Amino acid sequence: MPLGPSPPLSAGFATSPSRPSPRQWACTRRPPGVTSTARRNSCEVTIERARRYKTSSFAAHDAIVDALAGAGTMATAQVQGLFSTALGVTAYLWQVSHPTATLAELYAQEPRWAHAALDFEPRLSRLLQAAAGLAITGSTRSDQDERVPDPPG
């Protein structure tokens, strides 16, 4: 069931000394880890510095995508999807596999939860190989289940 349109970012925010603007709120709500650097940089820099950073990062992204597309069998759009997946999965797995001291102590006390502190590199490798395989074949398991078999002969 569709959830409908999201309210505008400014909904529910009144600018006053006691209530921050949406931008101020977003810039003060920093999650720890990989994502905080990019978020912090977008909040505390001039627009020209942000432009230089984005220009450089998009040029590097495009160079990586072009190199991977040129070296393999995946189309540029497939590599772009895989690269986006790699960035998101890497950020998440890095945080999960490097727990804080408090979480490490908790996992020692509750071994059944310790699986959350997984091995970063093997898990990332398996997930990216699976994602690359899906990108190449262009199918998912449900797609395969719905295929009509080729006629005999």
Contacts of 108 (CB under 8 A, 6+ apart): 114
Angle of CA points 5, 42, 37, to nearest 5°: 105
Q: Which two tokens stand for residue 149?
A: 């078999």
The residue ranges of every structural domain in the chain are: 22-141
Give pLDDT, residue 120.
87
Upper half-sphere CA count for residue 53 (Cβ side, 13 Å): 13
Please tell me the predicted confidence (pLDDT) of residue 105.
Answer: 92
Whether 22 contacts 10, CB under 8 Å: yes
Q: Is the pTM of this model over 0.85?
A: no
Q: Which residues contact 44 (CB under 8 A, 6 or more apart)?
A: 27
Give the model's pLDDT for residue 125. 92
Task: Round to whole Å and give the CA distance between 95 and 91.
Answer: 6
Residue-by-residue pLDDT tens, the chain, 153 positions: 444 444 443 444 344 455 555 555 455 554 444 445 555 555 788 999 999 999 999 999 999 999 999 998 899 999 999 999 999 999 999 988 888 999 989 988 998 888 767 788 888 999 999 998 887 776 544 444 444 455 555
